[in-house]
Structure 1
Amino acid sequence: MSMSDDELGMLIRRQAARHAPPAGLAQRIGQALRTEAVAAPPPAPIRQRQLQRRGWWQGLACFGTGAATAWGLALVLLATPLPPSDALAEAVTANHVRSLMAAHLADVASTDQHTVKPWFAGKLDFSPPVADLAAEGFPLSGGRLDYLDGRTVAALVYRAGPHVINLFVWPAAQGQGQGQVLAPVFSTRQGYQLAHWAQGGMQAWAVSDLNAAELRTFALLLRERTAPRTP
């Protein structure tokens, strides 16, 4: 049976109306698609740039924290004074190095203790003990004036082969060995060996690039030779 065009169009419209989607379905589908687009991670290049930017800021924050900590530690160290003995040991070492660099070891150059000791008369308010240890391998080379511990001190120069020994001597202050006998204390600063002792109202610092055993021998010999004689 044949159908006219009008009858066919009416049949199609009737079938479309029977299977039409529920009202609001298109709106709900659109909303769901927009929600999914928001929740989905960004494309790989965008997400990678976001992660790189976040890592850069985190690295900068860590660097800032580390730098602040380092500066804080440096300020604490700079603001913390050295103990008196350590500060004096640093000054003794610096004076020794300076005398070698300036090539000014002696104001009076002599191997004779009877020439060196009188030279200090009138230049110091004390008389430094001077001993000749040439027979033991530590000949006297001379003496000069130096400055340590806030005052002028005697610097006696000895040698051990090619090595120079600076011996700094000055009166011990009250509470720093005045009237006491202090056995040598040995230490190392900047690769140099140091020995510090006190006796007869004087304190002495010896410094050299000798090895520790040789400087110990020198210090013990010198203490023995310059010890005050008991009547």
Structure 2
Amino acid sequence: MAVWFARYLHRHLDALRLPLWSAPPADHAGPVVVYCNHPAWWDALVLIVLAARTCPERDNRAPFDAAMLRKYRIFERLGAFGVDLDSPRGGAQFLAAARGILARPGSALWITAQGRFADVRARPLDLRPGVARLPEIAPEALFVPLALEYAFWDERGAGAFAAFGPGVPGAALAALPRSERLARMEGDLAALLDRLGRDVVSREPARFRTLVAGRKGVGGVYDLWRRLAARLAGRRFDPAHRPVNGGDRAA
């Protein structure tokens, strides 16, 4: 299914890109918690592809709105578990499931920590307090912020951008009071979003490596005509609006 979702991104987005300075969590013996912002519908698909490409050896799991999970059952088969976001018991459901998942050293828990759709420019981020409870449950886990953003560049499809920040040991976060812990996690994610945003605004593909490349061009009859015209003229046909030279390295 991760392969199918990568193909879906290929068909509908310009690309999934990571800045060159971003590195996914690696070489951590314990569990990993990846917490991110929640800007768009695409987030679930992007997280599935990121998990499969950057942490393929881990048991990747993620909380999902229980009402939406009943609508999109396929995500259950991909590691999602339901959390009732509209009742007080939702927090207890999340913590109970997280406790079991993070008890396994090879696990990874991916969380859209805002719990709702929010613009990448909105501040404060207002992360849900449950994410700050996790260091108490799993002090041996590594907590990694992940920034997500989408933007239109030169092609008809939007580009998806993702950046991993430096991980913080759960024990270091657990040593902080909960209010300070949440503020620290929110501050790390906000700073990461700002840094990613500067690269996205630059519109410079050379600042990124491509995890999934998307289709280029307009498609349909128009690109068919352009391909034929190029062949008749003895030229190589490139459907991209602005061909990239030297940048946009494949990961």
Range into which the TM-score falls when normalised by the shorter chain: under 0.3
Higher RCO structure, 1 or 2 (CA under 8 Å, sep 6+): 2
CA radius of gyration, larger in: 1
More helix by share: 1
